[in-house]
Amino acid sequence: TERTLSIIKPDATRRNLTGKINAKFEDAGLRIVAQKRIHLTKAQAGQFYAVHAERPFYDELCEFMASEPVVVQVLEGEGAIAKNREVMGATNPAEADAGTIRAEFAESVGENSVHGSDAPETAKEEIAFFFSGLELV
């Protein structure tokens, strides 16, 4: 089985959507094997999204991710990385398939409710960014 890093973003935690989003993951066969609520500093958000440092939306993205608490979690299952991204839907909610998290809950392309790792290597790095070995069973 595979593991991936998921973040429930501030627009969703603010609207009390953690449970509804988690139900989507569990209904898709993804198991939540670690989870915690944290409030990122802007610097930490910048480090996490460093790959986007040159993009025009980087500063706005870091401000948003540090604006309120987020829920970071590790999801496990067969093909968890791809399955999670399927359940999330397209980055832009206007293009997301019906029934996906972003189609149902996202407010805009920036405030789009969830993050999910995009490949095995980034999943490994992103899980290690938020969770210690002791927190993962």
Distance of alpha carbon 116 from its chain centroid, rounded?
Answer: 4
Q: Which stretch binds Mg ion (CB under 5 A): 27-35, 75-83, 101-109, 116-124?
A: 116-124
Q: Is residue 69 within the footprint of ligand ATP (CB under 6 A)?
A: no
Radius of gyration of the chain (CA): 14
Which positions from 14 through 53 interact with ligand ATP, judged by CB under 6 A?
52
Which CB, 47 or 91, lies closer to ligand ATP?
Answer: 91
Stretch that binds ligand ATP, among 21-29, 35-43, 107-115, 126-134 (CB under 6 A): 107-115
Catalytic residue among 113, 115, 117, 126: 115
Mapped onto helix, strand or coil, the DSSP state of residue 16 is coil
Alpha carbons within 13 A on the beta-carbon side of 127: 22
Token readout for 79 is 């093909």
15 annotated ligand-binding residue: no
